[in-house]
Chain A
């Protein structure tokens, strides 16, 4: 069965530092997509970045980047130069088997950025 696991429940970092959030997944698919989302304090869920499993290069988007380690079924989110407004809950997600467009989500990691 497919599964997405985020082992870090919460992380606290100082502003302007770099933080990495972990995510491991389970799938038997040979091709799949991985995503990271951010949920702000207001409840808004925002798409951040995506990694296609067949691409060896790690995706980057602004101050977000990914550490994709396919042999370890791992997709870490790296945020550089963190800002107070990066404080939020971050969800990892994976495309589901069957080419349906559906996603399976992890339970999230709460990031608190301290001034």
Chain B
């Protein structure tokens, strides 16, 4: 019944490898977001989307790409993973349009880049 799901939940990748994190939401929200959470930095916005086909850069987009092929799905892509991208990644959805609204989070993906 979870409205925002993420896969995988845990991932170990090698430096230089490609990583794709997936997010699916059943809230029918237009907006979706990708964050990373690191100790001392809180939640930082990487990319976001206003709807299918749209992606926008957040506060820390370098080294990441995003894809929104449908209303329900939003992916985060690390083309060349680096150890500095080891973190916990959260996807969220929120809002029927660009108006302010609370966001609902997925369970997170723990990514380790060796």
Interface residues of A (CB under 8 A from B): 32-33, 35, 37, 43-47, 50, 91, 95, 99-103, 105-108
Interface residues of B (CB under 8 A from A): 31, 33, 40-43, 45, 48, 50, 58, 88, 90, 92, 94-95, 98-105, 107-108
Question: A103 vs B42: C-alpha distance in the bound complex, in angstroms?
Answer: 12
Residue of A nearest to B88 (CB): A43
Chain A neighbourhood of B50, CB < 8 A = 101
Given A45-B90, A91-B43, A108-B42, A99 and B99 contact (CB-CB distance below 8 Å): yes
Number of CB contacts from chain A to chain B under 8 A: 52
Decide if B105 touches A45 in the complex (CB within 8 Å): yes
Question: A95 vs B95: C-alpha distance in the bound complex, in angstroms?
Answer: 12
Shortest Cβ-Cβ A-B pairs, 8 listed: A45-B105, A95-B100, A33-B100, A101-B31, A107-B42, A101-B95, A105-B43, A47-B102
Q: Could you name 28 residue pairs across A and B whose Cβ atoms are closer than 8 Å?
A: A33-B100, A33-B101, A33-B102, A35-B102, A37-B105, A44-B107, A45-B90, A45-B105, A45-B108, A91-B42, A91-B43, A99-B99, A99-B100, A100-B48, A101-B31, A101-B48, A101-B95, A101-B98, A101-B99, A101-B101, A101-B103, A102-B33, A102-B48, A105-B43, A107-B40, A107-B41, A107-B42, A108-B42
Question: A44 vs B102: C-alpha distance in the bound complex, in angstroms?
Answer: 16
Chain B neighbourhood of A50, CB < 8 A = 102
Question: A37 vs B37: C-alpha distance in the bound complex, in angstroms?
Answer: 14
